[in-house]
Amino acid sequence: MIPRTLLAFFLSAAPVAADTLMAVRVVRPNAIIAPEDISVSQTAIAGALPGDADIIGLEAKVTLYPGRPILPAHVGPAALVERNQPVSLIYRSGGLTISTEARALSRGAVGDSVRVMNLASRSTVVGRIRSDGSVEVDGNGGLK
């Protein structure tokens, strides 16, 4: 059982002010966020990233403007595959693995779905970017 005086202390304590990440200068979409691009504001803003969030090295998904809070949707992992970049296209089904060359039709980070064009057949498929930069097509071939 908690003593009443201790319980009253915790219930009457002032709320702790949270820090918020703010952009210091304009950061364009697809740019990698550097330490000099952000600062910590003493103002708590609902929905914004807290001051202790580690976003250095992430990519801006939208334009970040000076003095505006940075929201979680504004940043994400840096793209691993760029548009028109040659990639290895991998298809696996059971014990069968087929690998061929393809060209990315969009950019994306690890785990993103991207459209790629098989260079041999000129067909377009959708696959998921793997950590090595290759694109893996799912079991139904990812045909679109």
* Residue in 56, 106, 61 with CA at minimum distance from that of residue 81: 106
Per-residue pLDDT band at 142 (split at 50, 70, 90): low
pTM of the model: 0.68
Q: Which CATH class is domain 18-76?
A: alpha beta
- Please write the tens of the pLDDT for every residue from 48-97: 999 888 999 999 999 999 999 999 999 999 999 999 999 999 998 888 89
- pLDDT score at 7: 43
Provide the residue ranges of all domains of the chain, joining segments of one domain with +: 18-76, 86-137
Per-residue pLDDT band at 141 (split at 50, 70, 90): low
Q: Which CATH architecture has domain 86-137?
A: Roll (2.30)
Q: What is the mean pLDDT of residues 31-42?
A: 94
- pLDDT score at 138: 78
- Please write the tens of the pLDDT for every residue from 89-106: 999 888 889 999 999 999
Whether 18-76 shares its CATH topology with 86-137 is answered no
